[in-house]
Amino acid sequence: MPNFCAAPNCTRKSTQSDLAFFRFPRDPERCRLWVENCRRADLEAKTSDQLNKHYRLCAKHFDPAMVCKTSPYRTVLKDTAIPTIFDLTSHLKNPHSRHRKRIKELTEEDIRRIKERRLASSIEQLHSKKDIEATEGQDAAEEEIKLSPEEKEFRDYLRSLFEIVFMLGKQNIPLETNVPEGLERDPSNFQALLEYRINAGDEALRRRFEATAVNVEYLSTAQQSQLLDVCEGTVREEILMEVRESRFFSLVTGDLVEFAGERHLPLFLRFVDQSNTLREEFLDFLPFEGDEASLVERLETQVTDGWGLRMEDCRGQAHVATGTFATKMKAVAVGLMGKYPMAMHTPCSTCALNIHLANSLPFPSVQVVMATLRKIGIFFKQSPSLQAELEKAISVYHQGNYEKATELKEACSSNWTVQHNVFELTVDLLESLLLCMDCIRDNENVKFPDAMTGVAYSIAETLADFEFVVTLVILKNALSFTRAFGKNLQGEALDVFFAANSLTAVLHSLNEVFDNIEVYHEFWFEEAVNLAGTMEIPVKVPRLFLRKHRSPDPGEIPPETYFKEYVTVPVIRGIIDEVDDIFSQSNLKALKCLSLVPAIMGQMKFNTSEENHADVYRKDLPNPDTLPAELHCWKIKWKHRSKEVRLPSTIHETLQLSDVKFFPNVNCFLKVLTTLPVLMLEDSGSSETSRKRLQTYLSDTPIKHRCKSLAVLHINSHVKHDLDVMVDKYCRLYPEDEPEPEPEISTVVI
């Protein structure tokens, strides 16, 4: 959305000019002087916070000496800048024109007060100008002395090094070469690129290294780490500046990543940038060590001390986790909410709800099913020939039902192990999967390498176990009650709104199953027995259970009773508890406020009650007292629109409206709401999210070649960076690396 200049008779806006636009200052006294100079009577009643949020002045109204360009991408004002250049007379040439920005008529008292202030300001500026002129010459001389030829050469050399580091990160080139141990190693990739640039004519590098021995590394490991740290920190700071400007954010974590034998937690932030676009950016990797309490403390320290953000402004958190790691991250989410209740724990939009619910169940049989599904998903991505083998097995097994075979082939063509209907699809594919794995394991035509046949053998052994079959069937039936609900959560804003209003019915169905668990389990167990029978899998109690309880008679406990007590009942209870946890009353109130989106209001015939749910974010609003009246005006605006006006259907479309700024509470509410991780990224401007770039990096880079800093640079290669800023930062952090000017040689005459 463009910024409009608030000065009278100024029609400039940010989309038509390269000029910088500046917010009104938060300091009440400076803000009063800005308003007084603007001569806008309608702005005098507004607070400095309101003016800071909603009004701007373009650079044309400031003395050029007050405007500083700190980098090619950033322009700032001096702390004492006051706007003094205004056109207050051109509107008089057309007295009948209508002006929204009316100019205040000054009284004699106003004129006297302004004259006194300007006189005092002129005297102060005169003295300060003399002081500045006196010090400027001294500073310039010192600067000339400070930047000796050696230091200028050193800065050019650093620029070249940073360019190489950024190329390594952007192109995902590891620092070290891939040479097996015991063989003669070539120079590292970093050194090879240095030599290439020197040979290509980089004078700064040539002068630096021309006297270096050819068998010596140009840069030590410590120096390389320093360069990487500076690059990584500079890129991260560019993102954090935008997060601070938006104020509200949500914290999202990914699945564990391994670096140098240690596990790390990927950290993402969701926020709405200055163009009112929702973004999810990758920030860093956090070491995953210690118990839940220490992890909560380190997460909090990273956000506050490391990034300079306030956890009080965190409005949501989501953790994509698997296995026992999921249980630990759930405890972390509870710990963060205990300290910061507004950081609501929600599912992540990138993970299907049923998969999230299954991952959250800390039962061994369930985790075996989930781990096997992940292994199957990775396995079939290795080669098209594996997918072709699966389709061949489907055709063999369903040779009498062409429509069913075609349907299954289409369903399992891409990423089927992470979709909302994965359990139903796996049950339908189970016989074909086992047949496919057996064929790959036999490897009659020697089409597959030993590594593939080994994985196929492992998967086949798991699929042919009755405990796996019965657990899969129970998950399929238990999670069928949340499947449609979860699918709507990954849909458009209207789908999410209806999902929030249908949660009561979902919980009612789950509780009904729990109350009648005997009946439901009987049907589910019978389905599992029939499926196992078609695959010739014996029905039995798990061997591990019998060994733990030292039961000599396998028939002492019937399989149906065992799986009811140890699988069905815990799974249903766990699903109910998890749904209650991630869809608390506060979460539901927030999601029901999606009715602020005009298309949803229209779908509900403008009979919505946003005010009943708005208290969840009332403290975040700029003018909470005027919220009821503003909501009424918002509803009337869309209810009585002209027929050719289309109702915006998403939060992103609504925030892009030019007149949404006249509804400051609605505008703020939607910005906070859209940061919740449960909502899909809308029109992010890029088909490739930071999460996908992370997955690409992990899949393309062997574990031994992974580097945290290069990973941050690769994932954030779209972020603008200024090499001069990096050079300055490096010189500040590591002044001992700078060259010292050569001492003058004095001659003695004898």
Q: Residue 215's pLDDT band (boundaries 50, 70, 90)?
A: very low
Any residues with CB less than 8 A from the CB of 192 and at least 6 apart, and which? 177, 186
Task: Spell out the SS3 assignment of 421-489.
Answer: CHHHHHHHHHHHHHHHHHHHHHCCCCCCCHHHHHHHHHHHHHHCCHHHHHHHHHHHHHCHHHHHHHHHH
Q: In the chain, what are the domain boundaries?
A: 21-126, 149-219, 228-334+684-701+713-725, 363-464, 586-675
Give residue 686's pLDDT.
47
Hey, which of 71-85, 179-193, 361-375, 397-411 has the most confident mean pLDDT?
361-375
Q: Can you say how many angstroms the Cα of residue 734 is from the centroid of all Cα atoms in its chain?
A: 32
Question: What integer is the mean pLDDT of 447-471?
Answer: 91
* CA torsion angle 241 243 244 245 (round to 10): 90
Give residue 116's pLDDT.
62
Percentage, residues of the chain above pLDDT 70: 83
**CA 729/CA 724 separation, integer angstroms:** 9
Instruction: Please state the pTM of the whole predicted model.
Output: 0.75
pLDDT tens sequence across 468-479: 999 999 999 999
Strand partners, 252: 268, 318
- Retrieve residue 371's tokens: 């781990």
pLDDT tens sequence across 581-621: 889 888 888 888 888 899 998 888 888 777 777 778 888 88
Give residue 297's pLDDT.
93
- How many other β-carbons are positioned within 10 Å of the β-carbon of residue 432? 22
Using alpha carbons only, give the angle 696, 700, 702 rounded to the nearest 5 degrees: 130
- How many other β-carbons are positioned within 10 Å of the β-carbon of residue 315? 27
Give residue 294's pLDDT.
93
Q: Which residue has the tokens 């998969």?
A: 355
* CA distance readout (Å), 6 to 55, 97, 130, 489, 664: 6, 18, 33, 41, 17
pLDDT at position 69 over 80? no
- How many other β-carbons are positioned within 10 Å of the β-carbon of residue 478? 26
100: number of CA atoms within 13 Å, CB side?
Answer: 6
Mean pLDDT of the chain: 83
Give residue 518's pLDDT.
93
Any residues with CB less than 8 A from the CB of 648 and at least 6 apart, and which? 597, 598, 599, 654, 656, 657
Q: Can you say how many angstroms the Cα of residue 331 is from the centroid of all Cα atoms in its chain?
A: 21
Question: What integer is the mean pLDDT of 698-715?
Answer: 89
Contact predicate 369/427, CB 8 Å: no
Q: What's the Rg (C-alpha) of the chain?
A: 33
- How many other β-carbons are positioned within 10 Å of the β-carbon of residue 13? 16
- Retrieve residue 309's tokens: 């953000």
Helix (H, G, I), strand (E, B) or coil at 75: strand
First-to-final CA distance of the chain: 78
* Spatial CA neighbour of 596 closest among 658, 663, 656, 666: 666
> Beta 262-272 vs 278-287: how paired, if at all?
antiparallel
Q: Which residue has the tokens 């003094």?
A: 84
- Retrieve residue 197's tokens: 């640039």
* CA distance readout (Å), 4 to 11, 98, 550, 667, 728: 7, 17, 78, 17, 34
Long-range contacts of 576-580 (CB under 8 A, 24+ apart): 576/507, 576/510, 576/511, 576/514, 578/357, 578/360, 578/361, 579/357, 579/482, 579/503, 579/506, 579/507, 579/510, 580/507
* Spatial CA neighbour of 231 closest among 734, 743, 721: 721
* Spatial CA neighbour of 683 closest among 510, 405, 493: 493
Percentage, residues of the chain above pLDDT 90: 31
Q: Residue 121's pLDDT band (boundaries 50, 70, 90)?
A: low
Using alpha carbons only, give the angle 585, 589, 593 rounded to the nearest 5 degrees: 170
pLDDT at position 576 over 90? yes
Q: Residue 683's pLDDT band (boundaries 50, 70, 90)?
A: low
Higher-pLDDT residue of 541, 271: 271
